[in-house]
Amino acid sequence: MAQWESGYVLANGLRLHFTRTGGAKPPVVLAHGFSDDGLCWTPVAEVLAPDYDVVMVDARGHGQSDAPDQGYTMADMAGDLHGVITELGLNRPTVVGHSMGGGTALALAGLYPDVPGAIVLEDAAPLGLAAMRMPVDPNRHARIMESIVRYQSKPRELLIAEQRAATPMWSEEVLGPWADAKLRLSPKVTDFDPTVAVDWPAVLRRITCPALLIAADPDRGGMISAESAVAFQSFVPQLRVITIEGAGHCVRYEQFGRYMDVVRGFLAGASSCV
């Protein structure tokens, strides 16, 4: 990691932070979930770096990126990601997104269909199409603020210790970046609303690139049921769906080896199509 590039680009009116492994290799952009940040992808990037130029982006309000007062929708974040890809000169990257980042990847592929070469979604689907098992929380904003205050009232080592006890399947390698992301999170992200600003039926039908959904185990809180995945595929017929048994919403944290096997297999096929 010491040789990786860390920097900023001006995109979509914001200063957005990224970390990049570099090299003349096929590009892969990693979009994190809500309240994480780019470095939460570090274990994935370490595996992929020998074969891919991996770019980990901090979403607006997260990590070291700007935190504007508004604009926390999937369309806004897709515009941010489009700007980063353009400014870095990435040609048809595969975009891998977890949860919120998966929604961003979907919006990017539909709003800017010529930008991504392929997309991978980690337990993510568009809200508003009954594609997710979890209902939208009407008290979401207050709940998010409460969680931010709770996280940021604790020292880093206590956060790590508590999360280690709560999620024994997570490796030590992910706990530090997870805690750092929570401590850097801007309170402005309470305006995040994944249900507005995107006409999902229209956007999904514009997605032409190869697509993979890595679904979590519904018995462990996975957000997408088998029936919902079928409904999702009615809008994106080329979408492949692989469910990883025994993994919760943070699939790669709980079943890293299986997750990476699936991702690497898909990337190998996607790279040959670009």
Residue 160 C-alpha from the chain's centroid: 21
Q: Which domain holds residue 51?
A: 5-273
Identify the band that residue 137 occupies on the pLDDT scale cut at 50, 70 and 90.
low
- Tokens 């969680």 appear where? 147
Which phi and psi angles does 187 have, rounded to 5°? -60, -20
Give the tens place of pLDDT for each residue, 175-209.
999 999 999 999 999 999 888 889 999 999 999 99
Check residue 87 and give its pLDDT.
98
Residue 214 tokens read as: 């890595």
For the cut 70, the answer to whether the pLDDT of residue 260 exceeds it is: yes
Identify the band that residue 213 occupies on the pLDDT scale cut at 50, 70 and 90.
very high
**Structural domains of the chain, count:** 1
Give the tens place of pLDDT for each residue, 21-43.
999 999 999 999 999 999 999 99
Identify the band that residue 130 occupies on the pLDDT scale cut at 50, 70 and 90.
very low
Average pLDDT over residues 222-227: 87
Give the tens place of pLDDT for each residue, 115-127.
999 999 999 988 6
Average pLDDT over residues 101-105: 97
Average pLDDT over residues 224-233: 89
Percent of the chain with pLDDT over 90: 83
pTM for the whole structure: 0.95
Check residue 135 and give its pLDDT.
57
In angstroms, the Cα distances linking 250 to 133, 134, 170, 201, 254 are 15, 15, 9, 26, 7
For the cut 60, the answer to whether the pLDDT of residue 226 exceeds it is: yes
Report which residue type is found at 226. A
Check residue 131 and give its pLDDT.
47
Check residue 128 and give its pLDDT.
58
Q: What is the CATH number of the domain that holds 52?
A: 3.40.50.1820
Residues 115, 116, 122, 128, CA torsion sign: positive
Check residue 196 and give its pLDDT.
85
Residue 247 tokens read as: 């993994």
Check residue 194 and give its pLDDT.
86
